[in-house]
Structure 1
């Protein structure tokens, strides 16, 4: 209870400081006169964000009231919050960040791409909360798939697993792998159950894949965990990996998926040969 009260107070204090940073001019309002404090007035914030002045006042006072994602989105817009501030606001309000960012608008930090590239013999990917493939390294391109040849709309790990015939053939025990993937995807979707994208994506994939339709209805869930993965590459043959994943430090909506060559196998040598055989990019 004490922790919750601290959270509400922190939220109220955060809103006050953000309100003080936005000038009427920035918000599209006349400057006016006789402003005793810098920034916007509470009634101006309430009007601009489409919420009641009393309710917004309670928010700044740290009262125990639930805040919807729609209100947080409006406040983020009015206060012109950056990515870190927006994430902090949603965290304080006990709400999950929205996921309605199209994959082509996701830009990863160049440092993160260099880290990906440094994993020279471990096929690695960056995925968002919708399992869209945002970035990859040369090893992933050589051993898994050339994601550049896939349209951005279809560059989704779940979609590819169920609809791409060549990719499906690479999985050893595809049915087992695919069912586990659905269970992890459903567990992730539970955090964004109100996202219209989820409903539409599931509907489309049900139409494309009889297996997905059957297994999705089972409502199995599981968390992401370390595991062994075996791929049957059309050129290199059997590739065995130790798979793990990590949240990205500056954006927890992104995950780093790493497939490290399993010890006591020839996978590392095969990955190196595949990369050496790739055409040189101009």
Structure 2
């Protein structure tokens, strides 16, 4: 079957699995389960005939606007919405930024299990939402900061202690700005990014200069050198990961590049934990 029939099958399946009462429609006197075609069309603000053609694979490919209306009308989850766009247009939908919602206990337990590898969970606008003990010891004790003071860019450009830890602050900061630009563009967080950039540009001439450079850099992996007040000079390698089911989050894990540094980190973490 062609792509449009695959879209039609998916739409019919979505419609059949919906509870009419949850969408404001009477659930009695129905010959088949789920919503009727005209009810989906009503919620999506499109004509019943056009919606029927979509299910039947007629009338050509739908527009992104029509698919977005259907996704909103059916209250689709993000994976359902993405699959709808892939079937209808051959590519995922544009990113839709969501304000941070915190992290689940499962995610927190996952990073806590990394006893001696600093790990953080950050949003698309680089707000740190969760961290483990090793991150508090090696990077920054985020628990001592107010929730609105945990943005990584704000810390890099306004916190003198964090700046003093960096072996080459300018190179690190420039790379972070370039990676942030790429992340924010993918997330579709234009309004939030605009406010943050305006604040940081007023706060730091260094940031204003680096942002004006307009460089882009993927934040996949790399190395980080720190002058730690207790551990001394240490080098870490980091890797970034997407969090399945949470497109608003990214995971960054740091690991020491040699066993000697790893032992120093373990001793410090264990000592503070005791």
Q: Same fold by TM-score, threshold 0.5 exceeded?
A: yes
What does residue 268 of structure 1 align with?
Answer: 262
CA contact (8 A) 2:220 2:239 kept: yes
Shifted more, 112-121 versus 77-86: the winner is 77-86
Any residues of structure 2 matched to 1:84-95 within 5 Å, and which? Answer: 84-89=79-84, 91-92=86-87, 94-95=92-93
- Measured at CA, do residues 205 and 54 of structure 1 come closer, stay the same or move farther in structure 2, by a change above 3 Å? farther
- Measured at CA, do residues 84 and 95 of structure 1 come closer, stay the same or move farther in structure 2, by a change above 3 Å? closer
What does residue 197 of structure 1 align with?
Answer: 192
| Deviation by residue 1:35-61 (Cα, 9 ceiling, x = unmatched) | 443322222222223334444344434
Gaps of 5+ in 1: none
Pairwise CA distance, 1:133: 1.7
Number of residue-to-residue matches in the alignment: 269
Gaps of 5+ in 2: none
Matched, 1:27 2:33: no
Shifted more, 142-151 versus 113-122: the winner is 113-122
What is the CA–CA distance in structure 1 between the aligned matches of 2:131 and 2:5, rounded to whole Å? 41
Matched, 1:123 2:118: yes
What does residue 66 of structure 1 align with?
Answer: 63
What is the CA–CA distance in structure 2 between the aligned matches of 1:231 and 1:11, rounded to whole Å? 52
What is the CA–CA distance in structure 1 between the aligned matches of 2:17 and 2:250, rounded to whole Å? 33
Matched, 1:17 2:17: no
Pairwise CA distance, 1:180: 0.8
Matched, 1:162 2:160: no
Paired residue for 1:56, among 48, 51, 65?
A: 51
Matched, 1:238 2:233: yes
Matched, 1:219 2:219: no
- Measured at CA, do residues 251 and 88 of structure 1 come closer, stay the same or move farther in structure 2, by a change above 3 Å? farther
Shifted more, 75-84 versus 119-128: the winner is 75-84
Q: Secondary structure at the match of 2:129?
A: strand
Q: Secondary structure at the match of 1:241?
A: strand
